[in-house]
């Protein structure tokens, strides 16, 4: 059941993104930004925790999770350190995702040769 929920959640998110790309003049960068902001917004409303509880990896591997991670880090930083904690918490949580993306991209570049 966990696999099905993860597949459905991520599949619906990808379906919505594809609808936006096909039916509007938005670029992939715009759609990525929209989903990142939506992840932070759903985190603010307390819904993204429920998405992760329902869909597990399906909700925690798509781009909207990055927005949620940034929001959660800023929120926890604010609770611990006040206004300055907004920025330190944001960087503390977000840096793991960014470093992981850069590291895995570097490894893939070493393993595969792009076509011209």
**What confidence category does residue 57 fall into, taking pLDDT thresholds of 50, 70 and 90?**
confident
Please state, rounded to an integer, the average pLDDT across all residues of the chain: 90
What dihedral do alpha carbons 13, 70, 105, 7 form, nearest 10°?
A: -20
pLDDT above 70 for 116:
no
pLDDT of residue 39: 94
pLDDT above 70 for 71:
yes
Residue among 69, 75, 54 at smallest CA distance from 10: 54
């Amino acid at each position: 059941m966990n696999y099905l929920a993860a597949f459905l959640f991520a599949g619906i998110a990808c379906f919505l993104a594809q609808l936006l790309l096909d039916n509007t003049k938005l670029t992939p960068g715009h759609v990525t930004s929209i989903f990142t902001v939506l992840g932070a917004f759903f985190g603010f409303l307390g819904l993204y925790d429920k998405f992760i509880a329902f869909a597990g990896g399906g909700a925690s591997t798509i781009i909207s999770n990055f927005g949620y991670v940034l929001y959660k880090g800023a929120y926890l930083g604010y609770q611990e350190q006040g206004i300055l904690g907004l920025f330190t918490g944001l960087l503390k949580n977000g840096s793991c995702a960014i470093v992981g993306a850069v590291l895995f991209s570097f490894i893939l570049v070493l393993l595969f040769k792009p076509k011209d």
